[in-house]
């Protein structure tokens, strides 16, 4: 669970940010109707990757806001619009 996200954060933004710590399976911003709740869920391929993400991003300033990152205490069923990891091309160094 990622809390205190800027309202403008998209599913793909979560993937891009969290793929720096591991393989993101799915990422999704939570909404109340059409309005963002300012939080989202990121699912990693391995538990260790999630632990690394929590250690790296807890309190991390993103969009001017400190993130609150922790294990989700309840099951989350992703919607078909959730962003899938591995779809963002890695940056090429020249």
pLDDT tens digits along 27-43: 999 999 999 999 999 99
pLDDT at 91 over 60: no
Architecture of domain 2-84: 2-Layer Sandwich (3.30)
pLDDT classification of 75: cutoffs 50, 70, 90: low
- Of residues 77, 68, 88, the one with CA closest to residue 30: 77
Per-domain boundaries in the chain: 2-84
pLDDT classification of 76: cutoffs 50, 70, 90: low
CA atoms within 13 A on the CB side of 4: 14
Owner of token pair 């991390």: 60
Contact 2, 37 (CB under 8 A): no
Strand partners for 36: 31
């Amino acid at each position: 669970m990622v809390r205190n996200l800027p309202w403008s954060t998209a599913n793909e933004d979560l993937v891009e940010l969290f793929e720096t710590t591991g393989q993101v399976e799915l990422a999704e911003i939570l909404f109340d109707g059409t309005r963002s709740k300012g939080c989202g869920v990121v699912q990693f391929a391995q538990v260790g990757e999630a632990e690394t993400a929590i250690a790296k991003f807890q309190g991390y300033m993103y969009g001017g806001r400190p993130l609150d990152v922790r294990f989700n205490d309840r099951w989350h069923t992703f919607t078909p619009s959730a962003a899938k990891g591995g779809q963002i091309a890695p940056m090429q160094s020249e």
